Copies of this chain bind each other. A is one copy, B any other.
Amino acid sequence: MVQKIEITNWFKSLQDEICQNLETKDGKGKFHQDLWERPDGGGGRTRILNDGNIIEKGGVNFSAVHGDLPKNIANALKLPPNQQFYATGVSIVLHPHSPMIPIIHMNIRYFEISNGIHWFGGGIDVTPHYVHKADATFFHQHLKNTCDQHHKDYYPHFKKWADDYFYIKHRKETRGIGGIFFDRLSANEEFTKEQRFAFVQSVGKSFIPIYFHLVDQNKEKTYGDPEKNWQKLRRGRYVEFNLVYDKGTKFGLDTDGRIESILMSLPPQANWQYDVQPTPQSPEHKTQQLLKKEIDWVNNIKS
Contact = CB atoms under 8 A, between A and B. Distances in A.
A232 B269 contact: yes
A145 to B, nearest CB: 34
Given A169-B253, A244-B243, A268 B268 contact: no
How many copies of the polypeptide does the oligomer hold? 2
Interface string A240-281: 100110000000010010011011101111111111000000
Contacts of A240: 243, 263
B243 A239 contact: yes
B260 A268 contact: no
A48 B274 contact: yes
Contacts of A275: 34, 48, 260
A170 B253 contact: yes
A98 to B, nearest CB: 18
Interface string A95-127: 000000000000000000000000000000000
Nearest to A273: B268
Contacts of A170: 253, 256, 259, 262
Nearest to A34: B275
A50 interface: yes
A23 to B, nearest CB: 17
Contacts of A236: 266
A270 B273 contact: no
B59 A274 contact: yes
Contact of A270 (B169, B244, B264, B269): B269
A78 interface: no
Contacts of A274: 32, 48, 50, 57, 59, 260, 264
Contacts of A50: 273-274
Nearest to A49: B274
A264 to B, nearest CB: 6
Contacts of A171: 259
A59 B274 CA distance: 9
A243 to B, nearest CB: 4
Contacts of A272: 57, 263, 266-270
A253 B243 contact: no
Given A170-B262, A270-B271, 5 more contacts: A50-B274, A232-B269, A236-B266, A243-B244, A270-B272
Interface of A: 32, 34, 48, 50, 57, 59, 169-171, 232, 236, 239-240, 243-244, 253, 256, 259-260, 262-264, 266-275
17 contacts: A50-B274, A57-B272, A57-B274, A169-B253, A170-B253, A170-B259, A170-B262, A240-B243, A240-B263, A243-B244, A244-B253, A268-B271, A268-B273, A269-B269, A269-B270, A269-B272, A270-B272
Give the top 6 A-B pairs by smallest Cβ distance, nearest first: A243-B243, A266-B272, A170-B253, A260-B275, A48-B274, A269-B271
